[in-house]
Amino acid sequence: MVAIVTADMVLVESYSGGTGALEVGSTVAGFLAPGSQIASGARAVWRCTSADHSQWEEFVGTYSAGSPNTVSRDALLLRSDSGSGFINWTSGQKKLLFPVIPSRYLPLLDTDGRVPLANMPLTVNLQAADWNGNFGLSTTAAEFVAIGAPSGARLLEIEASARLESGSTTACTATMLARVYDAADAAVVAEYTLGQATLHASNAHYVTFSGRAEHVFASPIPQQQIVRWLAMIDQPVSPISIYQLRGKIRAHLQA
């Protein structure tokens, strides 16, 4: 995944229903289309509001050019009521969709327009966690390393790299995942695919791949939450072994 971007003067209509991706409709007169300002695959914070503004939600989403163009709803940040999930929009209902920069993402200026050092975001680089061994992968995701995200975190940059070996002539796809758990370390809050690689003994005996993702919390987390790294293959092929996996998170804390 890529870093969050923004764009000025983008405003479109959407008539999608449900809780999934929103189809990008007509550009409102006098404004710009997302495709002219945002690259396909880029992530932004979006606001979707009903035509009368009685309902709205703010979320992190990925713009994808296609037929049609869409904006995914990846992580909910805020909504107009007390609900905990994405709004279940009515299909055919006119909505307005546009990228924003939430004020809570920006440093606060003092009265003379300067940015006080105390209000600057604080970034903490956490120690990477390494796993080394020889483990046969299966179609069930196996956990290898875990790191605690510190209290006060607002955004996590999650990175990982892995080294795999195949002794099979049948090709399979290996996937590296990261899961963010709740404060009780019981429920999965979000899951991200960090990387995929196709391998088999005849032409890809060893494979090293890496990836990254970002996770945004709606508010600073009050206590540590766990990030776990996992790996799996898409079909029961053997032997497919993982020899090394390194996970790292960079936590952006509220000042």
For 77-101, write each residue's pLDDT tens digit. Answer: 899 998 889 999 999 999 999 999 8
Task: Let me know the angle formed at the C-alpha of 157 by 137 and 22, rounded to the nearest 5 degrees.
Answer: 90
E-strand ranges in 111-239 read 122-125, 129-136, 142-149, 153-166, 172-181, 188-199, 206-216, 225-233
pLDDT-based confidence at 198, cuts 50/70/90? confident
pLDDT-based confidence at 124, cuts 50/70/90? low
The residue assigned the tokens 């929009």 is 89
User: Would you call 199 helix, strand, or coil by DSSP?
Assistant: strand
Please choose, from the candidates 30, 53, 34, the residue with its C-alpha nearest in 3D space to the C-alpha of residue 44: 34
Q: pLDDT for 161-191, tens place per residue?
A: 988 888 888 888 889 999 999 888 889 989 9
pTM of the model: 0.53
pLDDT-based confidence at 62, cuts 50/70/90? very high
Q: pLDDT for 48-60, tens place per residue?
A: 999 999 999 999 9
With 60 as the cut, is the pLDDT of residue 105 above it?
A: yes
